[in-house]
Structure 1
Amino acid sequence: MSESKSEQRQWENAAAGAIAGFATVAAMHPLDVVRTRFQVNDGRVSNLPSYKNTAHAILTIARLEGLRGLYAGFSPAVLGSTLSWGLYFFFYGRAKQRYSKNGEEKLSPGLHVASAAEAGALVCLCTNPVWLVKTRLQLQTPLHQTRPYSGLYDALRTIMTEEGWTALYKGIVPGLFLVSHGAVQFTAYEELRKAIVDYKNKKRKQNPDSVDNILNSVDYAILGGSSKVAAILLTYPFQVIRARLQQRPSSDGIPRYMDSWHVVKETFRFEGFRGFYKGITPNLLKNVPASSITFIVYENVLNFLRMGRNHS
């Protein structure tokens, strides 16, 4: 494969990923707000209302805070997701290309894991400040006594002024551990994809190398959803730890949790093992269909771009 073609393919991956990420966030954001509020509500001192379940949370937020509450943190969510998916697919495509020596060698499951982990770490370092702002905006309620952030820019400026630039990287340690989420999901996706392609090829007695038109949107939905479930179940505690670290300090400037180990100890002490899975129901409701949507859009955009390139 020539250098220009490989570069074009990488940008196609990035474009497809960014469009897929935006479509996903727009549809699922209220569930993300609910998940974040459940994650940080440790049952002790809290500025958050108490919710019985996911449906009750959505109805309560809608009643007390309106649409603005359900879409709190939407701007950084859109920015973060679009950046994350775009950068993820770009870095992931680059890594796979490098490990496969420009497509000349077939990648092993181990190299798929390495590609996903490398992409995830780079994305985490690039986007942590955006996710921190998203978390804080989602946690702002009428019960808060500190001056609320008015938006993404105001939040970044206030955090830098009050806490310094290092505060933008709170939660980076569990965030880096969450790289394993992408590694699990993409490895599961690639391996399941291969299995479905092989099965369909055998069934149709087609050439195993010709995969472009074998899979359809239903296949992509099943692949995206099932790979996401596996990743969520294995890595969810890191999301809870990160959300708790990223909370805004109280009015006296003292953070609720000092570091990741402090979160682990306090959560286990007061809430037990279940504390690490708080908010998993809205998380599954948001991310499983979201992952299906993302991969349907991503694969179809990618096929569209490839068709355009082949016809040019």
Structure 2
Amino acid sequence: MVASEKWQWENATAGAVAGFATVATMHPLDVVRTRFQVNDGRVSNLPTYKNTAHAIFTIARSEARLYAGFSPAVVGSTVSWALYFFFYDRAKQRYSRNREEKLSPGHHLASAAEAGALVCLCTNPIWLVKTRLQLQNPLHQTRPYSGFYDALRTIMREEGWIALYKGIVPGLFLVSHGAIQFTAYEELRKVLVDFKSRKSTEKSRSSDSVLNSFDYAALGASSKIAAMLLSYPFQVIRARLQQRPSNEGVPRYMDSWHVVKETARFEGLRGFYRGITPNLLKNVPAASITFIVYENVLNLLKSARRKD
């Protein structure tokens, strides 16, 4: 295996480990966020929550389902991060081929967008199942899914395979989230590396030796906030599209434009940011965890390769 191929798989491995660590620590807030996102104020099988703390307490006390949808979340996040870092690094290598200078922000943006679109197409069925499982509660009228594979089989049987790609349109628009996040991360990282290198007595200007876990945490959180504020409405649209149909098989929303019209009509701008608080509480520290784990695992793998 050539060195470049090893590098690509090192990125994928580091991304997979980072994705698992993130889900394992932050999943309860993901359940709360999803329930807030689909609560449009109209008739619903879901209870009404006053705030994030009340939602966590209520779900834990009455349902014990703070880890509902954990299996697809682990699979989806691990696979998504592995594929994302793999595709992202492949794209950066392609754009930097025969180039000695650093990649421009436009190249980072294009790399992140390309990686995000490919990951979205590969993982949408997993995220659909996760959403369905997170929205189940004792008030459901339809037979609940018993787990990940039962949900897949039931959706295929009752709604057809095309249902596995509900929410794919806003999902593709959410590629902008990853593109914004990774572009901001790369640019902020370059600034911080240059700043710390000038102050460091070390000769090496590599981020491997200049930056530490605290730096990765700050970079991950900062880039995540910027991406989240700009792309969050697409998450709400996707979650609402991915709800389970009624007993009569009628979906609550027909398509993305229907969600936009109904949300704007009945809830206004605020409706597109439902669940933003638990989302911030989940994703800002989650982004820090992801990049701390990713960078440190990647550095460990690269160190091991140098010893071979």
What is aligned with 2:20?
22
Q: What 5-or-longer segments of structure 2 have no aligned partner? A: none
User: Aligned partners of 2:206 and 2:219: how far apart in 1?
Assistant: 19
Q: Secondary structure at the match of 2:103?
A: coil
User: Aligned partners of 2:28 and 2:98: how far apart in 1?
Assistant: 41
What is aligned with 1:282?
278
Alignment of 1:170-209 (within 5 A): 170-204=166-200, 206-207=202-203, 209=205
What is aligned with 1:231?
227
What is aligned with 2:113?
117
Q: Is contact 2:193–2:205 with CA below 8 Å preserved after alignment?
A: no
Distance 1:298 1:102, change over 3 A: farther
Q: Deviations over 1:230-265 (max 9, x none)?
A: 010000000000000000000000000000000000
User: Aligned partners of 2:229 and 2:207: how far apart in 1?
Assistant: 30
- C-alpha displacement at 1:209, in angstroms? 4.0
Q: Is contact 2:80–2:119 with CA below 8 Å preserved after alignment?
A: yes
What is aligned with 1:297?
293
Distance 1:290 1:103, change over 3 A: farther
User: Aligned partners of 1:103 and 1:250: how far apart in 2?
Assistant: 55
Q: Secondary structure at the match of 1:70?
A: coil
- C-alpha displacement at 1:204, in angstroms? 2.1
Q: Are residues 1:87 and 2:83 paired?
A: yes
What is aligned with 1:107?
103
Q: Deviations over 1:177-216 (max 9, x none)?
A: 0000000000000000000001011122655743321000
Q: Is contact 1:97–1:103 with CA below 8 Å preserved after alignment?
A: no
Q: Deviations over 1:276-312 (max 9, x none)?
A: 0000000000000000001000000000011111111
Q: How many corresponding residue pairs?
A: 308
Which of 40, 56, 60 is the matching residue for 2:58? 60
Q: Are residues 1:144 and 2:140 paired?
A: yes
Q: Is contact 2:37–2:236 with CA below 8 Å preserved after alignment?
A: yes
What is aligned with 2:40?
42
Q: Are residues 1:264 and 2:253 paired?
A: no
User: Aligned partners of 1:34 and 1:107: how far apart in 2?
Assistant: 39
* TM-score, normalising length: structure 1: 0.97
Distance 1:102 1:24, change over 3 A: farther
Q: Is contact 1:35–1:283 with CA below 8 Å preserved after alignment?
A: yes
Q: Secondary structure at the match of 2:254?
A: coil
Q: Secondary structure at the match of 2:191?
A: helix
User: Aligned partners of 1:209 and 1:103: how far apart in 2?
Assistant: 19
What is aligned with 2:7?
9
What amino acid sits opposite 2:254 in the alignment? M
Distance 1:48 1:102, change over 3 A: farther
Q: Is contact 2:56–2:66 with CA below 8 Å preserved after alignment?
A: yes
Identical counterparts, % of pairs = 80
Q: Is contact 1:61–1:70 with CA below 8 Å preserved after alignment?
A: yes
Q: Secondary structure at the match of 1:212?
A: helix
Q: Deviations over 1:77-97 (max 9, x none)?
A: 000000000000000010001
What is aligned with 2:302?
306
Q: Is contact 1:198–1:208 with CA below 8 Å preserved after alignment?
A: no
What is aligned with 2:215?
219
What amino acid sits opposite 1:213 in the alignment? S
Q: CA RMSD in A?
A: 1.1
